[in-house]
A and B are shown apart, each in its own frame.
Chain A
Amino acid sequence: MSALQFIWFLLICVLFVGFFFLEGFDFGVGMASGIIARTEEEKSVMLDIIGPHWMVNETWLVTAGGAMFASFPMWYASLFSGYYIMFLLVLVGLIIRGVSFEFANHAETSRGRNFWYNTFVLGSLLAPLMLCIIFFSMIQGVPINAKGDLNLGFFDIINWLSLVGGIAGVLMSLIHGLNYVRLNTTGILRERAENLNRFLYPILFVGEVVFALLVFFQTDFFKEKFVSSLIITLLIVVMSLIGAWGVYKDHEGWSLVGSGLSLSFVVILIFNGLFPRVMIATNPAHDILIKDASSSPTALKVMTIVVCILLPIVLIYFIWSYLIFTKRTPSHKKVMD
C-alpha cells in the first residue's frame, strides 16, 4: 500500500464523517419534524432552519461518492452494483426529501404543503436507514467473486447487525437533529426537542450496548484490531454521554458536538475495521484490498494536488456560510397567506 493510497482511504473516511456529522442533523431535523412539529407553522420552521445548509451538506455525500469513484474505482463499482436496490432506495429518499424544501415553499394549499412535509419526513428516514443497513451489512463479510462482484442474498443485507445498526444510525441522527433544533429555535419546538431527547438518550445507550455486542460477534473487528476497535466503541459512548449531559444541563452547543461526534466515531469504527481492506469477502481470498482497489499513482497524485488546493478554500466559505446564520428562529414565525 502506497502512502497516497493510505491518504485517500483516510480522505474517503473524512468525507463520510463530514457527511454523517452534517447531513446527520439534516436527516434528524427531517424525522423530528414528523414528531415534534404539529402545526404547519412549526413544520415550516423545521424546514427553514436547515434550508440554507442542506444542499451543501448533501454535497459531502456527492463528494465522497465522486472521490471513491476516482480513488478506489474497484470499491465504488463493487459496492454500488452489489447493493443495487438499497442504493436505489437511498436515492429515492434523497430525491423526495430534496425536492420537498422547494415544493413545500411553492405549494399554495394546506394539503399540498402537508404532502411535501410528509415526503420530507419519509425521505429523511429512508436515506440514513438504508445507508446504515448497507454499511453494517457490508462489514460482516459478503459473498464476493474473484472479479469483485457481489452476489448478495436477502439475509446478507438484512440481519441482526445491519438492522440494529440501521436503527441505531437513525436514532443517532434523530437525536443529533433534535440537538440542532434546540440550538436553532426558541419556544415550543426547543422545549419539545429537549423533552424528546431526555427520553431518547437512555434508549440510545441500551442500543449502543446491543450494537457493540453485535459488532463483536458478527464482525472480525475485535479479533483483528481489539484495542483500536474498543477505544472507538468507547468513544462513541463517551460522545453520546457528552450529548446527554448537554441535554440535561441545557448546553445545546455541547449536545450537538456530542451527538455529531458519536455519529462520526461510528463511521470511524467502520473504516478502522475495514483497513487494510475496502470490502470484506466471506472467502478471505476475495477480500478487496486498498492496494488493489485504487486508481493509478498518476491519478492519485493529480487528485491529491487538486484536493490540497481546493479543500481549504471550500472549508473557508463553508464555515462562513454557517457563521452568517447563527440566529435562532422562533417557533411562531409568520407563514405566508
Chain B
Amino acid sequence: MLSLGVSLLSLARFQFAMTTVFHFFFVPFSIGLGFIVAIMETIYAVKKDEIYKKMAQFWGKIFLLSFAVGIVTGIIQEFQFGMNWSNYSRFMGDIFGAPLAIEALLAFFLESTFIGVWMFTWDRFKPGIHALFIWLTSIGTMLSAIWILAANSFMQHPTGFIINPQTHRAEMSSFAEVVSNPQLWKVFPHLILGAFCTGAFVVVGMSAWGLWRKQKDGVFFKKSMRFGLWIGLIAAIGVVAAGDLQTQEIVKDQPMKFAATEGEYKDTGSPASWKIVATFDTKNHKTTHEISVPYMLSLLTYHKTTGSVKGMNTLNKELKQKFDNNKSKSIRNIKNYYVPVNTLFWSFRFMAGFGFLMILVSILGLIWTRPSKNTITDKRWFLLVLGLMIWVPFLANTSGWLITELGRYPWIVYGLYTIADAVSPSTTVGQLIFSNIVYFLLFSILGGVMIYYARQTLHKGLDGIAGPSATDNVAINSDPFSKEAFN
C-alpha cells in the first residue's frame, strides 16, 4: 500500500478531483452556451433576421465542441463510482443510483437525441421547429444538472433515508424527501446561473478576440458580444444573489465549511469582521495575519450588523462530541474535523471576486457597445480584458466546486460515511497510478485540442459555418425493405 509513498486513498481522491474538475469545465460551458444558442435561434425564428441564424450556427459550433468533450468525460463519472469507490456505491447505491438512472432516462436521452437531430436538420425543418430541437437539448442539459445535484445534495445533507441495521447501508425511506432536499434547491439556481455566466463570457470573450483581430465579421461579433454581455450581466447578478441564499443554508447545515471559507478559527465577536485576505497556521489552528473589514461578516451572514459566527475550533469540538458515540469505529476514530482551510478560504474569495468582476465588466461593456455610441473597437485595452474574461467563469466554477466538495471532508456522505471507508478495497496502487496517468494525458490532449479548434473556428469566422454537416449531401429517399431501394 505504501509503495512510492502514496496511498490508494490519496490516488483515488486525486483522480476523482481531476476527472470531476475537468468534466466540470464543460458542464457549465455546455449548459450556458446551449441556452444562449437556443435564445439566438428563437429570435431568428421570430424575427427572421439572418444574422441571428448565423449567430446560432456559429456559436452552435462551439457548443458542439464543448458538448462532445463534456459527454465523453461524463461517462467516466458514472463508471468511476463503481470503479474507485465501490464501498461507497454499496453503502449509497439505494439513494445515489436512483437520481443517476433518472438523469439518464429523463435528461441524457433527451439531449443526445435532439442534439443529433438539431445538428443534421438545419435545412429540413421550419425555423420554429428547428429551434425547438435546441431547446429540448438545452432543457435536457439543465434537467441533467438537477439530478446530479440531487445526488450530490444528499452527500452534503442527507435526507429521506434510514440506516438498515442489518446491512449498515443507507436505504431510501422517502423519495420525495431526497428530491426536496433544501440544499438542492439552493444550489441549483447558483449553478445554473453560473453556467449562463460561463456561456455568456465565452461568447463575449471570443467576440472580443474576433474584434481584436479586426475581422471582416465585425458587425457579427459586435452583435454577439452585446448579446452575451446582457446575459452575462443578468446571470452574474443572479449568481451572486443565489450564492447568498445558498450561504444561509450552509451556515446551518455545514458550519465547518462556512467557517473555513471565512477563515475563522475562533468564534467571532458580534459584530463580526470579514477577512479580505489572511494567512493561516493550519498545524496550530490559528490565523496568523489578516486584513479585515468590520461588521462585514455579520452583514454577509445574517444581513444585519450584529451576530457572531462559530469558529472552526469550537465546531471541531462539537463534531467530536457528536460522533464520539457513533457505532461505526472508523467514524469514532476520526482525529479531527478540520477541512482544508487555505483552499476553501481562497476559493471563496476567487469565486466571489470573479462574480463581482463579471458584473462590473458587463456594465462597462454594455455602456461602450450601446447602439448610439458603439466605441468598443477603439478601446483595445478593454477588448483585451474581455478576451481574458473567457477564463474567469471557469475559474469561478472550479472554485465553487472545490468549496462544495472539500468542505465536507472527512465525509463522503455528511455525518454518515467517511471518504476513507468509501474507496474500492480491491483496486491496487499500481492500477490507480496507471489510470491517473491515462486520464491526465487524455485530458491534456482533449483540453488542448478543444481550445485549438475553438480558436480556429473563431479565426475562420462566418466563413466556417457552412460546415461539413450532412446538409450538402444529395440524399435519395428510400424504403430499406423495398426493391427499388437498391438502384
Contact = CB atoms under 8 A, between A and B. Distances in A.
Contacts of B431: 84-85
A65 interface: yes
Given A55-B71, A101-B68, A307-B105, A326 B480 contact: yes
B97 A98 contact: no
Nearest to B452: A106
A66 B82 contact: no
A325 B84 contact: no
B98 interface: yes
Interface centre among A52, A81, A250 (most CB of B within 10 A): A81
A202 interface: no
B73 A73 contact: no
Contacts of B120: 51-52, 325
A160 interface: no
A55 B113 CA distance: 7
Interface in A40-96: 44, 48, 51-56, 58-59, 61-63, 65-74, 76-82, 84-85, 87-88, 90-92, 94-96
Interface stretch (A208-216, A233-241, A265-273, A327-335): A327-335
Contacts of B119: 51-52
A217 interface: no
Contact of B75 (A62, A85, A105): A62
B72 interface: yes
A330 B474 contact: yes
Interface string B79-105: 101111011011011111110111111
Contacts of B112: 55-56, 58-59
A303 interface: yes
Nearest to A80: B82
Interface centre among B74, B92, B110, B426 (most CB of A within 10 A): B426
Interface stretch (A27-35, A163-171, A221-229, A292-300): A292-300
Interface string B55-77: 00000010011011101111110
Contacts of A56: 109, 112-113, 116
Contacts of B78: 62, 65-66, 69
The size class of the interface chain A forms with chain B is: 35 or more
Interface in B237-271: none
B326 interface: no
The size class of the interface chain B forms with chain A is: 35 or more
Contact of B68 (A52, A82, A102, A251): A102
Contacts of A296: 94, 164, 171-172
A148 B87 CA distance: 10
Nearest to A106: B453
Main secondary structure of the interface of B (DSSP, over half): helix
B294 interface: no
Contacts of B82: 65, 69, 76-77, 79-81, 87
A107 B95 CA distance: 43
Interface string B109-148: 1101111110111001000000000000000000000000
A20 to B, nearest CB: 17
Nearest to A152: B426
Contact of A84 (B64, B172, B427): B427
B319 interface: no
A299 B171 contact: yes
Contact of B101 (A52, A53, A303, A335): A303
A183 interface: yes
Interface stretch (B215-223, B353-361, B465-473): B465-473
Nearest to A53: B116
A325 B96 CA distance: 37
A103 B446 CA distance: 10
Contacts of A94: 72, 75
B109 A295 contact: no
A252 interface: yes
A95 B77 CA distance: 12
A271 B434 CA distance: 32
A76 B97 contact: yes
Interface centre among A44, A105, A326, A334 (most CB of B within 10 A): A105
A263 interface: no
A81 B424 contact: yes
Nearest to B121: A324
Interface centre among A82, A87, A91, A321 (most CB of B within 10 A): A91
B79 A91 contact: yes
Contact of B480 (A90, A183, A330): A183
A63 B73 contact: no
Nearest to B466: A336
A285 B320 CA distance: 40
Interface in B410-454: 424-427, 431, 434-435, 438, 442, 446, 449, 453
Contact of B476 (A66, A317, A321, A330): A330
Nearest to A147: B425
B175 interface: yes
B86 A66 contact: no
Nearest to B120: A52
A203 interface: no
A150 interface: yes
B478 A326 contact: yes
B1 interface: no
Contacts of A88: 83, 434-435, 438
A95 B90 contact: no
Given A62-B78, A295-B97, A324-B117, A103 B68 contact: yes
A335 B427 CA distance: 47
Contacts of B79: 65, 80, 87, 90-91
B106 interface: yes
B89 to A, nearest CB: 4
A248 to B, nearest CB: 14
Contacts of A321: 113-114, 116-117
Interface centre among B75, B457, B468, B469 (most CB of A within 10 A): B468
Interface string A282-318: 0000000000000110110011001100110010011
B97 to A, nearest CB: 3
Interface centre among B64, B75, B104, B120 (most CB of A within 10 A): B104
Interface string A139-152: 00000000111110
B284 interface: no
B84 to A, nearest CB: 7
A97 B65 CA distance: 14
Contacts of B449: 99, 103
B328 to A, nearest CB: 16
B7 interface: no
Nearest to B99: A70
**What are the 10 tightest A-B residue pairs by CB atom distance, in nearest-first order?**
A73-B93, A80-B82, A70-B97, A52-B116, A327-B475, A81-B86, A77-B86, A69-B97, A102-B68, A98-B72
Given A94-B72, A303-B101, 7 more contacts: A74-B90, A77-B82, A102-B67, A254-B481, A299-B172, A321-B114, A327-B476
Interface of B: 61, 64-65, 67-69, 71-76, 78-79, 81-84, 86-87, 89-90, 92-98, 100-106, 108-110, 112-117, 119-121, 124, 164, 171-173, 175, 424-427, 431, 434-435, 438, 442, 446, 449, 453, 456-457, 466-470, 472-481, 485-486
18 contacts: A52-B116, A52-B117, A63-B104, A65-B82, A69-B81, A69-B93, A73-B97, A77-B93, A80-B86, A88-B83, A90-B79, A91-B75, A252-B480, A306-B101, A317-B114, A329-B473, A330-B476, A336-B468
